[in-house]
Structure 1
Amino acid sequence: MTDTVAATPLRNDAAAKMTAREVSVFYGAKKAVDSVSIDISQDNVTAFIGPSGCGKSTFLRTLNRMNDTIANARVEGQIVLDGEDIYAPAMDVVQLRARVGMVFQKPNPFPKSIYENVAYGPRIHGLADGRAQMDEIVERSLKRAGLWEEVKDRLQDSGTALSGGQQQRLCIARAIAVDPEVILMDEPCSALDPIATARIEELIHELRGRYAIVIVTHNMQQAARVSQRTAFFHLGSLVEYGETSEIFTNPRVERTKDYITGRYG
């Protein structure tokens, strides 16, 4: 086996929604991500796996410029969304984050009602003409997030009063309410119990194809269950990227095999 391997190119029927080329991330003088190139398709769920501190979450945050919020962070290389360079000076970062939504590790609903959590994004982006249209957006988003039946009679209750799993689905509803093109999920189940985790995984399956989805996970079984393509990161580098079934059953790189078989991680 080789030490690293080039990513398998996407087939024509799975055209890239986003492409990253030679992307490196620095925190001051420290290089956290080293020259990552990857294609992310509309039709597949892509999982980023690897041990703690390997750069997978740092790279995920480059995809909607969340690293911009860190004072000493610097990104080199190119990331393109539908042909647009997202780091171009003319790129509207607020609009970018509406197009590329983020769901974080810990559920973080706003201290507002369930309704207002979902309505917040459409309101600031001017996506609704009046209350009736906003009601439709809120209902549709909660239905897509698999939460509507559980909360439809208490939309004015605080979002923070929901269970952990419900809060995470509320955050997903909030992300999709602005009709994004890509959803980034940074370990969305790590703080949840097994039942809530299963519900989020079901939701990922249901959302697949409607949005390009990228999930960072430490749980290799979860990556195998929810994704069609998997990227293995180690020490800031993308070691191997390809079909999930191939990565888990026939990895081409020794480091990938060692991680998947539990020799480290």
Structure 2
Amino acid sequence: MQEAAITASLKMTARDVNVFYGEKQAIKNVSIDVDKDNVTAFIGPSGCGKSTFLRTLNRMNDTVAGCRVVGNIELDGEDIYASGMDVVLLRARVGMVFQKPNPFPKSIYENIAYGPRIHGLAENKSAMDHIVEKSLQRAGLWNEVKDRLQESGTALSGGQQQRLCIARAIAVDPEVILMDEPCSALDPIATAKIEELITELRGRFAIVIVTHNMQQAARISQRTAFFHLGELIEYGGTADIFTNPREPRTQDYITGRYG
């Protein structure tokens, strides 16, 4: 029954995905489904390929010289690597939040307005004001910055900057949000706010998060994928992965034998 529910809300599918950097193979035959109703966490030791695979989902690897992606990745049944795919539009539909907060060197308002302006999502200033306010509210930042919208986004604290980057991703109304270790540069209080935010956003967007923090994966995700040496070792319900893994390598990683 659970699998049937996941099929109903399926957002992205990856089948037999391989990633090469020149001659070196970084990802080997990974197949995975991402659905809208669950937060999916990618875990595994450093250098295991989880961030590399995450970046295949919105073609961020296109920007890396010598990188080649083989296999099939679809968003709502559409091949995202097809020759006719508009990559700018794809990245609006599949937004990304990076490890280090990277607000534009512009005002808080302009950080949010930038994407909607490029994609023509606001007819006038009043519509743009609404998008900016709604995005900041969804990111749990509005009350902290509503009187400072013309100040630079780079003047905010690290945790606020990361929520600003999440608000910026939300502003273009994406379908999927990819997060690459979004809390690794933040203190515990800011991390708790981001985790709370991810929980609130669940169900509105398909969310995939790469984390090196297993406790974080256990707290905020419903599905977990364990990567090791470029392979997907195990993928399933988070509770199952952490309490009853099928694979010995997963068990060894969860119990701290390596990684």
Report the TM-score range of the alignment, normalised by the length of the smaller protein.
Answer: over 0.9
Among 1, 25, 29, which residue is 2:23 paired with? Answer: 29
What root-mean-square deviation, in Å, do the aligned CA atoms of Structure 1 and Structure 2 show? 0.9
Q: Is the 8 A contact 1:10 1:39 kept in 2?
A: no
How far residue 192 of structure 1 moved from its aligned partner, in angstroms, is 0.1
The separation in 2 between residues aligned to 1:202 and 1:133, in whole angstroms, is 28
**Paired residue type of 1:19:** T
Among 71, 94, 104, which residue is 2:65 paired with? Answer: 71
Q: Any residues of structure 2 matched to 1:181-192 within 5 Å, and which?
A: 181-192=175-186
Tell me, yes or no, if structure 1 residue 244 matches structure 2 residue 238.
yes
**Paired residue type of 2:204:** R
- Residue 132 of structure 2: SS of its match in structure 1? helix
Among 222, 225, 228, which residue is 1:231 paired with? Answer: 225
Alignment gaps of 5+ in structure 2: none
**Paired residue type of 2:4:** N
The separation in 2 between residues aligned to 1:163 and 1:169, in whole angstroms, is 10
**Paired residue type of 2:217:** A
The separation in 2 between residues aligned to 1:66 and 1:178, in whole angstroms, is 18
Return structure 1 stretches of 4+ with deviation > 4 angstroms. Answer: none
- Residue 25 of structure 1: SS of its match in structure 2? strand
The separation in 2 between residues aligned to 1:91 and 1:10, in whole angstroms, is 32
- Encode CA deviations 1:215-246: one digit per residue, 9 max, x unaligned: 00000000000000000000000000000000
**Paired residue type of 1:12:** A
- Encode CA deviations 1:99-148: one digit per residue, 9 max, x unaligned: 00000000000000000000000000110001000000000000000000
**Paired residue type of 1:204:** I
Query: Which residue pairs with 1:4 in the alignment?
Result: none
Among 82, 89, 95, which residue is 1:95 paired with? Answer: 89
The separation in 2 between residues aligned to 1:163 and 1:12, in whole angstroms, is 43
Among 154, 164, 168, which residue is 1:160 paired with? Answer: 154
Among 11, 19, 33, which residue is 2:3 paired with? Answer: 11
**Paired residue type of 1:14:** I
How far residue 10 of structure 1 moved from its aligned partner, in angstroms, is 6.5
Aligned residue-pair number: 257
Tell me, yes or no, if structure 1 residue 144 matches structure 2 residue 138.
yes
